[in-house]
Structure 1
């Protein structure tokens, strides 16, 4: 993984943009949706950039940039038509430990701007590590068509209820079950029934345990798509060996990792409503399947 995805709090973030042409205007339009302070230095300023001059968090200096300008910033975008100057300024930024992005030049960047789907509090970022930005935009278009605009007010509603849910449900597990139930009942809608569905979701917070089995000979990439939703609901993963990276990518990040337990203890955890994955060698997995007939043995093409 060359690029590690992060979401940066833009409150009081200070951004310098060098260059004010058409390419810079597209970055500025995106930055202007945030809470960042954006300062622009450029000899020539296009009309699209000038249109932002009245924005309270945008300032423009129409002059040549100097080396002294490359200090004291949190992020720098460089978008001039002079490739040599871009590389020189990027090097200075790196020497000053400032994250820098040189537009259309991934090899000179310390960070890249992904293709973004914006539903207010719900943000989805897509990156191809600079290799195929056109494909990233195409994928974004597909996802845009799947994600309704109603998600924005829905997540505003959810954000406003988080403290109340924490007070009413002190247990982390109970809160997770509550939100699972709410989103199952409510879906991605936001309408006059959403508060009703919210209250109804408190009524049944008991869930049956579940045991999933995967043997260490299974090619994780070949698991059926339906396995993903099951793996995302796990409470605990039992294994005595390191999990394949492909498998860890499918499992909830906060699911507990523990060593394998005796059958009797696994049976107890199942009875407590734990949703478990057991990853082991094929012989042990087959024995577990015989002992726990309710278990789901996840294999290519089969649940």
Structure 2
């Protein structure tokens, strides 16, 4: 960390602003928003700055800077846009012991001005230490889109209940857990949606239950997507930041887990074929016990929890136990891996249907599948957990009429830096998997869409020409 981040209170504090152009005007707006008592020194103030100073009650002195201007000032902002003038004022400020910032000249500054995101009392400051202000502005844009517009209202709502919460819950640990529960509750969501009346009713009910010791947790069953942490949904990211306990699968990457709250407890329940670290009954019991202890539990699953992820079974179990469950979908592995590999799942000229299917049955055997239906042309198949049963799938599809020449693509570690895409034809699928030593996680895609894009385009052009003739 090159600079120590602080928020400085300037309410009523005397601040000197040197400069009269656009840069000075922008800084004047920030200082006025912080309620500083601003004196502006410049020989030629531009009209916008002069009008803003007049309407806001700032003091405008139309002359060059002089050292006595620094007297009793808490802060100096220099924006003359002339390097010699900027340097001279900065040196004078430093000699007088006044903290100084020179716009766009970090070498002359005691501190740098961050890019700012403001939501009422919630302020986010982004700094690159003066190295790349443009990058700081881009980061600000990302944060602007991520933060709810009513976040400031939520901060004010919390402030209005702080006294009541402190009187009911005497210890800091109790209060921290209460506020964590509140931020993931319906009451917080109601504030953000603008329904503060309903939020107050739910807040009082939550506070009364907490005072009576009726602490109940909840479980969020969350899809972690195909692997790339940038493909997480915003809600999934937020819940990882709020979770007390994270119960995660083998296919959830360390990069995704690193986005979680630092003090969240992680429970690994990974499964592989014939190597279950935890049985499903054990996982269900862990979720129930952790939520029963009052924790916010994130059950984190690769892909989408409701696509071959047993999320539905876990949700049914938790609801039967009287535990609140939230489902957060993720980008399913098939759509994510196909996109990362560069081919569509459907295409107007090549595939009018797509089917996601599991290569394994309930007890690890062959899946009960209507191969006649799946063997039709212009139909993309995305096969999960299909490495060990690829030979049977190949044989049955061809036996029911699918061409042995149908293109296939195997996507191993899809969306991750070590992604591998292997292409071939249906007839050779088992040998291709063996020869390339394909390992899980990998998805098998069968269908015309997986072929070479140039070949697909040429084939389509020939078909259209034939129709025209």
- Normalising by structure 1, we get a TM-score of 0.69
Residue 229 of structure 1 aligns with which residue?
260
Tell me the CA shift for residue 189 of structure 1.
4.1
Query: Using the alignment, how far apart are the partners of 1:274 and 1:145 within structure 2?
Result: 32
Residue 66 of structure 2 aligns with which residue?
66
Query: Using the alignment, how far apart are the partners of 1:230 and 1:207 within structure 2?
Result: 20
Correspondence 1:14 to 2:45:
no
Tell me the CA shift for residue 12 of structure 1.
2.1
Tell me the CA shift for residue 57 of structure 1.
4.5
Tell me the CA shift for residue 9 of structure 1.
1.3
Residue 82 of structure 1 aligns with which residue?
82
**Using a 3 Å threshold, how does the CA distance of structure 1 residues 200 and 181 change in structure 2: closer, same or farther?**
farther
Residue 201 of structure 2 aligns with which residue?
196
Q: Deviations over 1:83-142 (max 9, x none)?
A: 112111101111222110111100000011100001111110000111111111111111
Contact 2:114 2:127 in 1 (8 A): yes
Residue 118 of structure 1 aligns with which residue?
118
Query: Using the alignment, how far apart are the partners of 2:261 and 2:114 within structure 1?
Result: 29
**Using a 3 Å threshold, how does the CA distance of structure 1 residues 161 and 233 change in structure 2: closer, same or farther?**
farther
Contact 1:78 1:101 in 2 (8 A): yes
Residue 149 of structure 2 aligns with which residue?
149
Residue 181 of structure 2 aligns with which residue?
181
Correspondence 1:137 to 2:137:
yes
Query: Using the alignment, how far apart are the partners of 2:124 and 2:47 within structure 1?
Result: 30
Q: Which structure carries more relative contact order (alpha carbon 8 Å, separation 6+)?
A: 1
SS of residue in 1 equivalent to 2:152: helix
Output the aligned Cα RMSD. 2.6
Contact 2:43 2:64 in 1 (8 A): yes
Query: Using the alignment, how far apart are the partners of 1:114 and 1:64 within structure 2?
Result: 27
Query: Using the alignment, how far apart are the partners of 2:80 and 2:90 within structure 1?
Result: 12
Query: Using the alignment, how far apart are the partners of 2:143 and 2:116 within structure 1?
Result: 10
Contact 2:32 2:56 in 1 (8 A): no
1:154-173, aligned counterparts within 5 Å? Answer: 154-173=154-173
Residue 292 of structure 1 aligns with which residue?
none
**Using a 3 Å threshold, how does the CA distance of structure 1 residues 3 and 55 change in structure 2: closer, same or farther?**
farther
Residue 303 of structure 2 aligns with which residue?
none
SS of residue in 2 equivalent to 1:111: coil
Residue 100 of structure 1 aligns with which residue?
100
Give the gaps of 5 or more residues in structure 2. 218-243, 247-252, 266-289, 296-415, 417-469
Residue 2 of structure 1 aligns with which residue?
2
- Normalising by structure 2, we get a TM-score of 0.45
Residue 257 of structure 1 aligns with which residue?
none
Tell me the CA shift for residue 193 of structure 1.
2.1
Query: Using the alignment, how far apart are the partners of 2:114 and 2:161 within structure 1?
Result: 30
Q: Deviations over 1:143-183 (max 9, x none)?
A: 11111221121211111111121111111111111101110
Residue-pair matches, total: 229
